[in-house]
Structure 1
Amino acid sequence: MEDRFAGIREFVATVDGGSLTAAANLLGVTGSAVGKSISRLEARLGVQLLHRTTRRMDLTTEGEAYLVSCRRVLEELAQTESFLSTGHQHPIGRLRVDLPTTFGRRHVIPTLLALCTRHEKLDMSVTLRDRAVDMVGEGIDLAVRIGALDAYPDLVARRLGEQTLVICASPDYLARRGTPLTHADLYRHDCLVGWRPGNRPMWLLKNAQGQTEPHEVPMRHEFFDGDALESACLAGCGLAQLPTWLAGDALRRGALVEVLSDITGGAMPIHVVWQKTWHLQPKVRVTVDELVRMAADSPEAFNRGRM
């Protein structure tokens, strides 16, 4: 009977070690044995996983995709074996996390770092991106998402809180340019927006029926990074529509002033999302629990008073 797992450890060890020799030393076999195992694996799959020359070894496109699945299988196996042998589920292994850029930097990464300090066998690979990713295809174990979620049968989500948007400006800017009172007043002001490829500058505003929808605004400056957008607003460069988790502290200090509160909108849920599996790995479970606790302990950042 064909062993579908044959060659997987050799393949992963070779990629991690960078050579057949390194993989052989790690696995306690010969380099030729490793090479034969990978060749048999490629023959069974019907694709080439590695480009091998006398000087280097590189993953093929198929190899990169297969490596993601192989790592996940080996990590889940290690987690299950640890549970069976100890009777306890301790978070071990590498957790791949994807976060919104500014929100993740400000409100999530400190919690992840503290979690890793408490669990010495838990390792993190964290990416910061303001776009949706294919969690399964890219091997992401856990993500934090702001906004409505599409229904994916292979993903599980838990709500952490809510993001709301406010339009604000510095007192200095308002003293120079006046306070806008209506939607039409925006066209006499400098508007600061977050950069999005291929999109027109939009803010979420309420229409005459009280429904929130995107409205184009006259853009003066645009910024890819949320921290930079807030800094420009604080410097008196114009009006900005900012989430309360970003502008809240400045609003409380009076460094920023909210305007047009009757027409601004844009309440969006904040979720932690992870892949659905038959056995929830301890590293995922512990991290989800910690993020839920973090959200409960940070009601201002997660706007939990409105939930």
Structure 2
Amino acid sequence: MRLTDLKSLNAFMTVVELGSFTQAAEKLHLTRSAVSKMVAKLEQQMGAVLLTRNTRHVTLTDEGAVFYEYSQRAVQELLTAENLLDSSSQHIRGSLRLSMPVLFGQKFIVPILKTLSEQHPELNIELSFNDRRVDLIEDNFDLAIRIGHLEDSSQLIAKKIGQHAMWLCATPHYLEQHGTPSSLTDLEQQHLIRYAKSGQMQAWQFKDPNLKTIKYRPNGNIQMDDMQAILDYTLMGGGISWLPSWLIQPYLQSGRLKHLLADHSSNDYPIQIVWKQSHFLPLRIRITIDLIAQSLQQHLTDA
């Protein structure tokens, strides 16, 4: 198939996804007749009937179903390559909406997107900082940063950009006053700072020697729903907290915090960038994904 026939293939796939020539024409900003001719041309080239049509419905034939399945990945790659060839300077414009966890986004993503904005001044970037897991389709986001394992979804694609652990920590001053715990049982005698998400207190998770997950539910009279506030309170000598490795690493290196129970290994939490499944990925989204992945992958793997 010639590259010039990609428009016909795109028209066919849009008809399949929307189930209507009329709706496909509206989405592609073409006439219904033009879309119909493109699909007919594609069927002629393939030597097979791909769609059955009646006044109400459009359905795939058996041959059409096979062709559609194998076309999805190919057309995404071909259209992206064509865009790259047509834009040797990779000059991008338009709008980009990105959702991310508050602290992680402020620490890592904002500096990266500042670089993106400087390189592409005609790109309008909208960042949303929210620890709530947004619905990319319903909330109309192009990309989202997700921490933790994802639920399976045929509508989303994810790229792992790193991982992190959760570590127990406290200040040297606090440990001088209250002692250093050597086991999970010792934590019962300590001041523990608990984290609540969406109103639910989160259990601390570790691995036993057989790599089985242990869930520890901390007791304490201090509970917060913001990790930065927990970190600040911990640095004041308020107690022991369970925080992301990427957040406390600088304080461990400076000696302001100590890593506790290091022999109790943590579960690893993947950090991923997620976008909507589509047979065409706009250049502005592809460039953003690549920039974020390249900037963070090595750093987060080491954290």
- TM > 0.5 fold call: yes
Partner of 2:183: 182
Partner of 1:287: 288
Over aligned residue pairs, what C-alpha RMSD do you find? Answer: 2.7
| C-alpha contact 1:191 1:240 (8 A) present in aligned 2 | yes
| C-alpha contact 1:101 1:128 (8 A) present in aligned 2 | yes
| C-alpha contact 1:204 1:264 (8 A) present in aligned 2 | no
| C-alpha contact 2:169 2:243 (8 A) present in aligned 1 | yes
1:75-110 per-position Cα deviation (integer Å, ceiling 9, x unaligned): xxxx99x95995555321111101011111111111
Task: Measure the CA separation in 1 of the matches of 2:139 and 2:158.
Answer: 18
The one-letter code matched in structure 1 to 2:171 is S
1:101-155 per-position Cα deviation (integer Å, ceiling 9, x unaligned): 1111111111111211110111111111112111111111001111111111121
Q: Look up the SS of the partner of 2:180 in the other structure.
A: coil
Q: Relative to structure 2, which stretch is displaced further, 88-97 or 127-136?
A: 88-97
Partner of 2:105: 104
1:194-214 per-position Cα deviation (integer Å, ceiling 9, x unaligned): 221342342112347441233
Q: Look up the SS of the partner of 1:91 in the other structure.
A: coil
**Change in CA separation of 1:7 and 1:135 when aligned onto 2, cut-off 3 Å:** closer
**Change in CA separation of 1:282 and 1:258 when aligned onto 2, cut-off 3 Å:** same
Task: Measure the CA separation in 2 of the matches of 1:286 and 1:84.
Answer: 10
| C-alpha contact 1:201 1:219 (8 A) present in aligned 2 | no
Deviation beyond 6 Å, 4+ runs, structure 1: 3-9
CA shift for structure 1 position 267: 0.8
Partner of 1:203: 204
The one-letter code matched in structure 2 to 1:199 is Q
Partner of 1:161: 162
1:253-280 per-position Cα deviation (integer Å, ceiling 9, x unaligned): 1100011112251211111111122211
The one-letter code matched in structure 2 to 1:265 is S
Q: Look up the SS of the partner of 1:135 in the other structure.
A: coil
**Change in CA separation of 1:87 and 1:165 when aligned onto 2, cut-off 3 Å:** closer
**Change in CA separation of 1:213 and 1:91 when aligned onto 2, cut-off 3 Å:** farther
The one-letter code matched in structure 1 to 2:168 is I
**Change in CA separation of 1:160 and 1:194 when aligned onto 2, cut-off 3 Å:** same
| C-alpha contact 2:161 2:271 (8 A) present in aligned 1 | yes
The one-letter code matched in structure 2 to 1:200 is M
**Change in CA separation of 1:145 and 1:85 when aligned onto 2, cut-off 3 Å:** closer
CA shift for structure 1 position 219: 2.5
**Change in CA separation of 1:167 and 1:87 when aligned onto 2, cut-off 3 Å:** closer
Equivalent pairs counted in the alignment come to 232
Task: Measure the CA separation in 2 of the matches of 1:270 and 1:110.
Answer: 17
CA shift for structure 1 position 176: 0.6
| C-alpha contact 2:169 2:258 (8 A) present in aligned 1 | yes
**Change in CA separation of 1:142 and 1:2 when aligned onto 2, cut-off 3 Å:** closer
Partner of 1:117: 118
Q: How does 1:259-298 map to 2 (within 5 A)?
A: 259-296=260-297
| C-alpha contact 1:92 1:282 (8 A) present in aligned 2 | no
The one-letter code matched in structure 1 to 2:194 is V
Q: Look up the SS of the partner of 1:136 in the other structure.
A: coil
Q: Look up the SS of the partner of 2:181 in the other structure.
A: coil
| C-alpha contact 1:93 1:121 (8 A) present in aligned 2 | yes
Q: How does 1:12-27 map to 2 (within 5 A)?
A: none
Q: Relative to structure 2, which stretch is displaced further, 211-220 or 230-239?
A: 211-220
Q: How does 1:1-307 map to 2 (within 5 A)?
A: 83=83, 87-88=87-88, 89-207=90-208, 209-296=210-297, 299=299, 302=300, 304-305=301-302
Gaps of 5+ in 1: 10-78
TM score, norm. by length of structure 2: 0.69
| C-alpha contact 2:170 2:239 (8 A) present in aligned 1 | yes
TM score, norm. by length of structure 1: 0.69
Task: Measure the CA separation in 1 of the matches of 2:265 and 2:84.
Answer: 53
% of aligned pairs identical? 28
**Change in CA separation of 1:7 and 1:277 when aligned onto 2, cut-off 3 Å:** closer
| C-alpha contact 2:192 2:220 (8 A) present in aligned 1 | yes
